[in-house]
A = this chain, B = another copy of it.
Amino acid sequence: MNTQTFSALAEPNRFNIVELLLSEPLPVGDIAEKLKLNQSQTSKHLRVLSEAGLVEVQPIANRRIYKLKPEPFQELDAWLDSYRRIWGARMDRLDDYLNVIQGKKTLN
């Protein structure tokens, strides 16, 4: 799992951009307007998202349309598999660890 994905999504404005792009691909100006960010910031955040592989750009006429790339989300999904497998099991059990402790018979 690439932690760059987490870094990119950790910033609230960038997270909002991603959520916005979930509905439809959009040009920079529209993103800025809808999220009430200025143009400069929006471009910078899109750059980060782009370098993290979360979005890609497609120039149309005078504008640059940004859209989500599925790969990082799929990777995230795959990563979560390991965690799904143990929900309700080891994750909230202490026994595993306790059984392993040596040199200490009783705990209280």
Contacts and interface: CB of A to CB of B under 8 A. Distances in A.
B82 A22 contact: yes
A49 to B, nearest CB: 13
A106 to B, nearest CB: 10
Contacts of A11: 3
A46 interface: no
A6 B1 contact: no
A58 B67 CA distance: 44
A80 B93 CA distance: 26
B94 A67 contact: yes
Contacts of A84: 73, 77
Contacts of A92: 67, 69-70
